[in-house]
Structure 1
Amino acid sequence: MSKPLDIAFATTILVRDTCLCLHVQRAARALARRFDEALRPLGLTNGQFSLLMSLNRPAAPSMGSVASLLAMDRTTLTAALKPLERRGLVAVTSDPADRRSRLLTLTDAGRTLLSSAFPVWERTHAEVERRLPAGDPHRLRADLRALC
């Protein structure tokens, strides 16, 4: 077995200070904590709020379309849906056009909770946008979308 190459500590500092992936992950975690804290009194996490909001459509979406929108695989989406189903916030049904496919629907309880959660999200979101140093949230969103 060959001896591994040593990486200088200066390289560690360079990565710490310049790695876009690290900075985006740190920002995402900080934002998630902020929204989790704000939504906690309603019994929701930021991920659950996003999932419920993704179901707020005129027609029930498929698992695949929701997974794609939320950038998660179907297995992760299925796991995320389970507690929302148990709480009676979401219904998962077979698609009449294709019995292998599942459709996701907000229940009345889910819609009620979502309408209570939206003002909390809106206030928190406005606070976050005010904290952006450049004051241009549209630019940040556009830059982040360019990476997808």
Structure 2
Amino acid sequence: MTKVYDEFLVPSNLKISQLALLRHINQLGPVSVSDLAVVIRLDRTTLVRNLKPLEKSGFVEDISTEKTRNRQLRLTDKGIETYKYSEELWEKAQSFLEEYLGKDNISTFTTLLSKIEALVS
């Protein structure tokens, strides 16, 4: 599934995992790395590694007033623009998958994923 989304996201130069990070940072507003790690259920070290390309590309910035271990992150203007564009591409991928697999199958798949996630949490 990620390959389908990644293909649709090629024009944005993002992977679906990167879009997910931008989405969470956008929704949470300024958010600490630790809080973001909890929300997305990813260990802090892996999250920091995954954030580096987004920071290097100028999509995410640290707005902490002091250099602390737990930085505060937000999207830059460039990040917001890229996020909005990528969301449009994501919608196209979603529509493609719904048409290809059928809405009922997508719904069943989503339900199963939620149950599996609850089981392993």
Secondary structure (helix, strand or coil) at the match of 1:50 reads helix
Match of 1:69 among 15, 26, 39: 39
Residues 60 and 39 of structure 1: is their aligned pair in 2 closer, same or farther, counting only changes over 3 Å? Answer: same
Residues 111-148 of structure 1 deviation map (CA, whole Å, 9 limit, x = unaligned): 00111111110010121123335724333222211112
Count of residues in correspondence between the two structures = 116
- For normalisation by structure 1, the TM-score amounts to 0.69
Rg bigger for which structure?
A: 1
1:74 maps to a residue whose letter is R
Give the conservation status (yes or no) of the 8 Å contact 2:8–2:92.
no
1:54 maps to a residue whose letter is H
Match of 1:104 among 69, 73, 77: 73
Identical-pair percentage: 31
Q: Within 5 A, what are the aligned runs for 1:1-148?
A: 31-57=1-27, 59-94=29-64, 99-132=68-101, 135-148=104-117
- Larger helix proportion, structure 1 or 2? 2
CA distance in 1, matches of 2:103, 2:79: 36
Give the conservation status (yes or no) of the 8 Å contact 1:94–1:100.
no
5+ unaligned residues in a row in structure 2: which ranges? none
- For normalisation by structure 2, the TM-score amounts to 0.82
- Tell me which stretches of 4 or more aligned residues in structure 1 moved more than 4 Å: none
CA distance in 1, matches of 2:52, 2:21: 12
5+ unaligned residues in a row in structure 1: which ranges? 1-30
Point out which structure has higher relative CO (alpha carbons under 8 A, 6+ apart).
Answer: 2
